[in-house]
A and B are shown apart, each in its own frame.
Chain A
């Protein structure tokens, strides 16, 4: 089955700096890669996603890149703000079959004002 590795497990940045979180996946059949943000006391919420036919996607201060050959994808947050502090999860999924949504172990991001 699919295995998703996520690094780093914790990340501290100064407000205004950029943050990068990296994930690798094992199953070449995976074709959908979402990123979720989990704030304290809440369930994870989708912040951005990318499909395998796209190499990069951007939404304001967040962007995701995908390298299918190397089987890795990354989340980039620019101009970080204190409200970006949360736990971030990457995931991989194949929507061509009845497969589960598999998550990485998460990254706790702290933005220091």
Chain B
């Protein structure tokens, strides 16, 4: 089975801290995504990447950056955490263009205090 692993289930960070959320997939997936999930707002796309070192902004990139140095790893970075970034963060990966199924990690619930 394909596995998408997020480094932490729960995180508590202080305002102003730099926060790293890591996501690793164990198949040779080209595309990886970071979403933020908030009640009533669904899954909002922060950033996505369709290849190593490639990144594209999603709908809500402000306050975030990403890194994809290796195909299997996609990191989300909160440059200076703020309380409005308290949320559930979900990573997903997609097999490829002609065989399309997105697999999600379990999510990281981040609380910024």
Interface residues of A (CB under 8 A from B): 6, 9, 32, 34, 36, 41-46, 49, 89, 91, 93, 95-96, 98, 100-106
Interface segment, one of B11-19, B37-45, B71-79 = B37-45
- Quick one: closest B residue to A45, CB to CB? B104
Q: Is the CB of B101 within 8 A of A105?
A: no
Instruction: Report the minimum CB–CB distance from B94 to chain A (whole Å).
Output: 7
Q: Is the CB of A105 within 8 A of B106?
A: no
- Quick one: closest B residue to A107, CB to CB? B42
User: Bound complex: CA of A46 vs CA of B103, how far in Å?
Assistant: 8
Q: Is the CB of A100 within 8 A of B58?
A: yes
Instruction: Report the minimum CB–CB distance from A18 to chain B (whole Å).
Output: 23
Q: Mark B81-109, 1 if CB is under 8 A from A, else 0.
A: 00000000010101001101111111100
The residue from B40, B54, B58, B90 contacting A44, defined by CB atoms under 8 A apart? B90
Q: Is the CB of A42 within 8 A of B106?
A: yes
Instruction: Report the minimum CB–CB distance from B19 to chain A (whole Å).
Output: 20
- Chain B residues 8 to 34 lying within 8 A of chain A, measured CB to CB, are 31, 33
Taking CB atoms, residues of chain B closer than 8 Å to A104 are 42
Q: Is the CB of A103 within 8 A of B33?
A: no
Q: Is the CB of A46 within 8 A of B90?
A: no
